[in-house]
Amino acid sequence: MARINFAKQRLADGKPITILVVTMPSVAHAQLWANSGVDVLIFDMEHGVIDISSLHAMIAATAGTETTPMVRVPWNEPWLVKPVLDAGALGIMFPLVATAQDVERAVSSMYYPPKGERGWGPFMTQYRWGMPHHEYVAQANEEMLTFIQIERPEAVENLDEIMQVPDVDMFVISRHDMSTSMGKIASPTHDLDPEAQAAVDQMEAKLLAAEAPVAGLTRDLRAAKNQREKNYQGLILGFDWMLLERSAGIATQIREHVS
At 55-89, the pLDDT tens digits run 999 999 999 999 999 999 999 999 999 999 999 99
- pLDDT in the model for residue 253: 81
The domain that holds 20 is classified in CATH as: 3.20.20.60
Query: What is the Cα–Cα distance from 128 to 208, expressed in whole angstroms?
Result: 36
Residue 230 lies in a domain: yes
Of 24, 58, 194, 233, the C-alpha closest to 70 is 58
- pLDDT in the model for residue 50: 98
Walking along the chain (259 residues) 10 residues at a time, the average pLDDT comes out as: 90 97 96 96 97 98 97 97 97 97 98 96 91 93 97 94 98 90 73 85 95 93 94 96 83 79
Specify the number of domains making up the chain: 1
Q: Is 245 helix (H, G, I), strand (E, B) or coil?
A: helix
Contact of 144 with 91, CB cutoff 8 Å: yes
- pLDDT in the model for residue 180: 87
Residue 61 lies in a domain: yes
Residue 239 lies in a domain: yes
Residue 149 lies in a domain: yes
Neighbours of 139 (CB within 10 A): 17
- pLDDT in the model for residue 189: 59
Residues spanned by the domain of 185 = 6-258
Catalytic residue, from 29, 47, 133, 190: name it: 47
Query: What is the Cα–Cα distance from 121 to 79, expressed in whole angstroms?
Result: 13
Residue 1 lies in a domain: no
* pLDDT, tens digit, 9 for 90 and up, residues 143-169: 999 999 999 999 999 999 999 999 999
Contact of 237 with 258, CB cutoff 8 Å: no
Is 176 catalytic? The answer is no
Query: What is the Cα–Cα distance from 195 to 199, expressed in whole angstroms?
Result: 6
